[in-house]
Structure 1
Amino acid sequence: MVKPVTTNHFDSALPLIDRNRCTGCGLCEQLCPTNAVEVYAGKATIVRPADCTFCEVCESYCPVGAIGRPFAIVFAPPAPRCTLG
């Protein structure tokens, strides 16, 4: 088992885990494609923050809604190609 680490580089963009709501079911740990989330001390924990790709899988599948963000990540559409005439 890996102990959680803290970092200031990604903290503002990482999913927030409501430890009071989390049941420790482990679904987020099973589904995280980068293994950034583990159940530690009975609660979901971001143990490898640098590995989080912000894919929202953990947020989407949490059965009790314990994982989320205070904001949405929205990607801008690609800019149209310009041609010089």
Structure 2
Amino acid sequence: MTLRIVKISDGARTVLKLSGRIQARDIEKLREQMDGLIRGTVLDLQEVTLVDVEVVRFLGLCEAAGVELAHCSPYIREWLFREQVAGEES
């Protein structure tokens, strides 16, 4: 299953409901959907089934910049933590 994005906005907050696989080639599509907005942006990962390392790094950068990662699965959360630690050690 490829990435599916549903964008919901109420003016103050934008939620991108993501489902399926997210691969490195999808990062630009996600950036476009975020419209350069960080504040009030939520990436809902509840229906994400698979990600690759570039996506995990992108999600980590988004979260560090203030994007909320909602319904993040434990395996993605652990991978985010490991990437953060690895980045700090470099």
**Whose radius of gyration is greater, 1 or 2?**
1
TM (normalized to structure 2)?
0.27
The answer to which structure has the higher helix fraction is 2
After TM superposition, the score normalised by the length of structure 1 is: 0.28
